[in-house]
Amino acid sequence: MTDSLRELSEQLEHFARERDWQQFHSPKNLASALIVEAGELLEHFQWLTEAESHDLPPQKLAEVREEVADVLLYLVQFASATGIDPVEAARDKLVANARRYPVEKARGNSSKHDQL
Amino acid sequence: MTDSLRELSEQLEHFARERDWQQFHSPKNLASALIVEAGELLEHFQWLTEAESHDLPPQKLAEVREEVADVLLYLVQFASATGIDPVEAARDKLVANARRYPVEKARGNSSKHDQL
Amino acid sequence: MTDSLRELSEQLEHFARERDWQQFHSPKNLASALIVEAGELLEHFQWLTEAESHDLPPQKLAEVREEVADVLLYLVQFASATGIDPVEAARDKLVANARRYPVEKARGNSSKHDQL
Amino acid sequence: MTDSLRELSEQLEHFARERDWQQFHSPKNLASALIVEAGELLEHFQWLTEAESHDLPPQKLAEVREEVADVLLYLVQFASATGIDPVEAARDKLVANARRYPVEKARGNSSKHDQL
């Protein structure tokens, strides 16, 4: 794992070890915690229009920022529990996506690659 | 945003601009896409025991790695669309969590801070 | 559980027993399966505008209908595994919501009850 | 829609109309609200073992029951907004699943039908 995420990962491991929380942190449970936080993030947007979602009032933005933090913290812990480097995985996926979504076919089109 | 995530963020912006996809990438939609990918990640674990989730066969691990990538890619795009630095937000949250979950009270206890 | 849901519940129990699937169907796992299906449902809408979501083409509507089925099937199984009657629970919640969201305060307002 | 769910659906429509909430209740938004509630349901289980999830203390069970209610209430509203009959859809899906998961191949096996 690279740089700032590795640092987060080490701090999280220390945090969990100090509290004897590793027993709860199976990949299965961390994947659950991740989606629970993603739900708390989405909750802020469920009744907003897309336009409103571009322009959050400061208090709501601060709450959204905390949910982004939670999602990242569980993603980093999940990655570390499964030995996955998330940034490297993301780079590989970007390369694959460039192949699956050629510019000329995907332009202005939100369809999935198998329906382009 | 720091280092490797900033680089990903710039590549993603370029990727979306080339395909004229910014029109789809409101914070509301990106928060939806994020949880959809978190669901695809969790799908791999829904019927596994926690013990099995620690020990994925290589083919399944490769699929899980792709879902981790997708979650990170949407998280980075969401963060960039809302002007949030996810690593900084995560660091701040870790500090807050250290206060909310004091070692002596939280040890071996998975309860939420307001129920400790 | 009432009428048509009870019938579904009995069919699902038979279905799982025949296949020796009860071992997988802990409340924890069924709650995971439920959200995974809710994610597959949301996937159909993530890039649509709200207006488009009111007017799905027939093929997409048929796919959405399958996801609605999956959500209901796991909800019924979850409810049966925890001994909850979902329709009775929903009726009770409607009564509570009527108290929490008085018409005059909630009109045209999507805020949560604690922020009205 | 059949019986008790139809009754819920009518009450929910009345509830939303009185509060002028139909403007928020696009299928897209209702699908978001549904997964958000599914996340609140899963949150109760994320750190529990499967065995613990079978045996919830009364207070937790009461909270879980409220989340089941919320999931059903949004599912019913989503179904009504898209003109889908969820019980009929579930019955059709059960028939399809019986074909996709023949007893002799699926017994004791949690794999997806395309991997049996």
Block means of pLDDT (10 residues each) for chain D, length 116 residues? 86 96 97 98 98 97 98 98 97 96 94 89
Closest CA to B43 of D13, D21, C29: C29
> In order of start, what are the domains of chain D with their CATH numbers?
3-84 (1.10.287.1080), 86-116 (no CATH)
Buried residues in A34-49 as b, exposed as e (16+ CB within 10 A): bbbbbbbbbbbbbbbb
Each residue's pLDDT tens digit, C71-115? 999 999 999 999 999 999 999 999 999 999 999 999 999 999 988
**pLDDT (0 to 100) of residue A49:** 97
Residue C24 pLDDT > 80: yes
Cβ(C39)–Cβ(D43) below 8 Å = no
**pLDDT (0 to 100) of residue C116:** 86
Does any CB of chain D come closer than 8 Å to the CB of residue A46? Answer: yes
Q: How far is D40 from chain A (nearest CA, A)?
A: 7
Report the percent of chain A where pLDDT is more than 90: 93
pTM, entire model: 0.97
**pLDDT (0 to 100) of residue C1:** 60
Close Cβ partners of B30 (under 8 Å, ≥ 6 residues apart): B74, B77, B78, B81
Q: Which pair of tokens denotes residue D69?
A: 């209610």
Each residue's pLDDT tens digit, A75-116? 999 999 999 999 999 999 999 999 999 999 999 999 999 888
Give one DSSP letter per residue of chain B, joined into a string.
Answer: --HHHHHHHHHHHHHHHHTT-GGG--HHHHHHHHHHHHHHHHHTTTTS-HHHHTS--HHHHHHHHHHHHHHHHHHHHHHHHHT--HHHHHHHHHHHHHHHS-HHHHTT----GGG-
Cβ(B87)–Cβ(B1) below 8 Å = yes
Does any CB of chain B come closer than 8 Å to the CB of residue C46? Answer: yes
Cβ(D30)–Cβ(D81) below 8 Å = yes
Interchain pair C106, D79: CB under 8 A: no
Interchain pair D47, A24: CB under 8 A: yes
**pLDDT (0 to 100) of residue D1:** 60
**pLDDT (0 to 100) of residue B2:** 63
Phi-psi region at B102: left, alpha or beta (left = phi > 0; alpha = psi -120 to 50)? beta
Q: Looking at residue A48, what DSSP letter applies?
A: S
Cβ(C5)–Cβ(C89) below 8 Å = no
Does any CB of chain B come closer than 8 Å to the CB of residue C101? Answer: no
**pLDDT (0 to 100) of residue D61:** 98
Q: For D96, name the nearest residue in chain C, comparing CA atoms only.
A: C66
User: Which of helix, strand or coil describes residue D31?
Assistant: helix
Closest CA to B15 of C38, C61, A100, D15: A100
Name the average pLDDT for chain C: 95
Close Cβ partners of D116 (under 8 Å, ≥ 6 residues apart): D101, D105, D106, D109
Distance between CA atoms of residues C107 and C22, nearest Å: 45
Does any CB of chain D come closer than 8 Å to the CB of residue C22? Answer: no
Closest CA to B31 of D20, A60, D75: A60
